[in-house]
């Protein structure tokens, strides 16, 4: 079971990416008897996953609404991950972090408590980057810290130069991260999936 943590500031596009990613994984896993993907949402209530949308397209996605999988204590998250690993063992487990979580801490919790590979996909919001940067640069950077992939999202709403500058800044901060400029509102191309899943 491979674990992906989807992190990034409130409203950056985590759920939008997640929906496309889940569909992609289901498509890839078609024909296999394994459950291709399970999803843990950090928040109950305003969850954007529309199970019916996916199922109406003939896709099977199991969902688990884990409630508050707090990134600092991590207790209920770890329990849920253990349960999923034991009872379902999907090929992929995707965890959408809350918009104020630190994905690196979630990964540390998982790595210390579960024996599964964990990757962080962090999403940056190109449309609101400058405004957020002016108000809370530390939080933005902390949310990108340790990310394996950074998706600079909403590039349809930003000047190309703005997206390039964000990419440069993030690469300086996190030199190991693979960075992709995307617009999750449109269909993402195969290269982005290869970067995430490869």
Ligand X SMILES: Nc1nc2c(ncn2[C@@H]2O[C@H](COP(=O)(O)OP(=O)(O)OP(=O)(O)O)[C@@H](O)[C@H]2O)c(=O)[nH]1
Residues within the interface to Mg ion (CB under 5 A): 14-15
* 8 Å CB contact between 7 and 97: yes
- Taking the complex as a whole, how short is the minimal distance between the CB of residue 94 and ligand X, in angstroms? 12
CA trace torsion 1, 185, 164, 97 (10° rounding): -40
All residues at 6 or more sequence positions from 86 whose CB lies less than 8 Å from its CB, including other chains = none
- Taking the complex as a whole, how short is the minimal distance between the CB of residue 22 and ligand X, in angstroms? 13
Please give the C-alpha separations between residue 3 and each of 78, 95, 145, in angstroms, as whole numbers: 12, 7, 17
123-142 footprint of ligand X as x/- string (CB under 6 A) = --------------------
- Taking the complex as a whole, how short is the minimal distance between the CB of residue 180 and ligand X, in angstroms? 12
Phi, psi at 101, each rounded to 5° = -85, 160
- Considering CB distances under 5 to 8 angstroms, the limit depending on partner class, which of Mg ion, ligand X, none binds residue 13? ligand X
Among 156, 159, 189, 191, interactor with ligand X by CB under 6 A: 156
Q: Give residues 10-29 in contact with ligand X (rule: CB under 6 A).
A: 10-16
* Using rule CB under 6 A, residue 184 touches ligand X: yes
The residue among 106 and 184 lying less far from ligand X, judged by its C-beta, is 184
Q: Give residues 93-112 in contact with ligand X (rule: CB under 6 A).
A: 99
Among 154, 170, 179, 196, interactor with ligand X by CB under 6 A: 154
Q: Residue 74 and residue 106: Cα distance in Å, rounded?
A: 7
All residues at 6 or more sequence positions from 91 whose CB lies less than 8 Å from its CB, including other chains = 1, 2, 25, 29, 32, 34, 35, 36, 37
- Considering CB distances under 5 to 8 angstroms, the limit depending on partner class, which of Mg ion, ligand X, none binds residue 50? none
Among 185, 187, 189, 191, interactor with ligand X by CB under 6 A: 185
Rg, the chain, Cα only: 16
- Considering CB distances under 5 to 8 angstroms, the limit depending on partner class, which of ligand X, Mg ion, none binds residue 16? ligand X
| Exposure b/e, 138-173, CB count within 10 A at least 16 = b | eebeebbbbbbbbbbbbbeebeeebbeebbebbeee
* Using rule CB under 6 A, residue 169 touches ligand X: no
Sites of contact with ligand X (CB under 6 A): 8, 10-16, 48, 99, 153-154, 156-157, 183-185
């Amino acid at each position: 079971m491979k674990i992906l943590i989807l992190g990034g500031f409130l409203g950056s596009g985590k759920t939008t990416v997640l929906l496309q990613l889940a569909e992609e994984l289901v498509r890839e896993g078609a024909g296999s008897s394994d459950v291709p993907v399970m999803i843990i949402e950090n928040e109950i209530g305003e969850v954007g996953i529309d199970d019916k949308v996916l199922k109406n397209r003939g896709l099977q996605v199991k969902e688990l609404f884990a409630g508050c999988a707090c990134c600092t204590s991590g207790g209920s998250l770890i329990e849920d991950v253990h349960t999923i690993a034991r009872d379902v063992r999907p090929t992929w487990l995707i965890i959408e972090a809350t918009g104020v979580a630190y994905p690196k801490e979630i990964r540390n919790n998982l790595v210390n408590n579960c024996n599964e590979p964990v990757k962080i996909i962090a999403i940056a919001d190109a449309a609101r980057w400058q405004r957020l940067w002016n108000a809370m640069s530390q939080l933005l950077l902390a949310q990108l810290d340790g990310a394996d992939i950074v998706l600079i999202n909403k590039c349809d709403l930003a000047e190309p130069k703005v997206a390039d500058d964000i990419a440069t800044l993030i690469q300086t901060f996190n030199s190991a991260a693979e960075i992709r400029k995307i617009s999750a509102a449109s269909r993402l191309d195969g290269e982005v999936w290869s970067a995430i899943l490869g």
